C-alpha cells in the first residue's frame, strides 16, 4: 500500500479554493495561481496526499496562465482520464493516491522535451523546496531537481 493517501484530515485542511479544485474538479482563474511564477528548485506534491507529482526542472513558461510541466516526476502517481466536460474532449490529470483533480495534459508542449504540456492548478499543489526535500521524506528525488 502506498504511503500517500487521501484522508479526512487532509481534506479538512484545504482552503475553499483548494477544495473546489481538487475535490470538485474546478479550475483556478488563469494567472492567479501561487506557483505560476515560482522559479525555486524543488518538487510539487499533491496538496491532499503528498505524493510527488512534478519537478521544478520540468516546469516551463507556456504562457497559458497555469503552471506547466513537461512530464510527471513519477508517472505512476498521475492518472490520465478522458474528460468531455464543457463541450470539449480533453485529458484530465488526477493524482493516483489522492484522487485530486490536478488539471489537464495537452499535446502542445515543447517538442524537444516530449511534446506534452501538463497544465496544472496551483491550488492542487504544495511546493517542497530543494533544501527541505530530504527532511520531508522526498530525498529520493533530489537528483531530479536542478539547483537554481
The verdict on whether 119 is a catalytic residue reads: yes
Can you tell me the distance from the alpha carbon of 82 to that of 91, in angstroms, rounded to the nearest whole number? 5
Alpha-helical (H) ranges within 36-141 are 130-133
DSSP labels, 89-132: -EEEEEETTT--EEEEEES-S-GGGTS-EEEE-GGGEEEEEHHH
Phi, psi of 147 (to 5 degrees): -70, 150
Q: Say if CB 98 and CB 92 are below 8 A apart.
A: no
Q: One of 47, 73, 93, 119 is an active-site residue; which one?
A: 119
Span between the terminal Cα atoms of the chain, in Å:
35
User: Which residues are designated catalytic?
Assistant: 119
Amino acid at each position: 500500500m502506498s504511503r500517500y493517501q487521501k484522508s479526512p484530515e487532509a481534506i479538512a485542511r484545504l482552503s475553499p479554493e483548494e477544495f473546489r479544485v481538487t475535490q470538485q474538479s474546478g479550475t483556478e482563474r488563469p494567472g492567479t495561481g501561487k506557483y505560476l511564477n515560482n522559479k525555486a528548485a524543488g518538487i510539487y506534491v499533491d496538496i491532499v496526499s503528498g505524493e510527488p507529482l512534478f519537478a521544478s526542472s520540468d516546469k516551463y513558461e507556456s504562457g497559458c496562465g497555469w503552471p506547466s510541466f513537461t512530464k510527471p516526476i513519477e508517472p505512476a502517481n498521475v492518472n490520465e482520464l478522458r474528460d468531455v466536460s464543457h463541450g470539449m474532449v480533453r485529458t484530465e490529470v488526477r493524482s493516483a493516491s489522492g484522487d485530486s483533480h490536478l488539471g489537464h495534459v495537452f499535446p502542445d508542449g515543447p517538442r524537444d522535451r516530449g511534446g506534452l504540456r501538463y497544465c496544472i492548478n496551483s491550488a492542487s499543489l504544495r511546493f517542497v523546496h530543494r533544501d527541505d526535500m530530504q527532511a520531508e521524506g522526498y530525498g529520493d528525488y533530489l537528483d531530479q531537481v536542478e539547483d537554481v
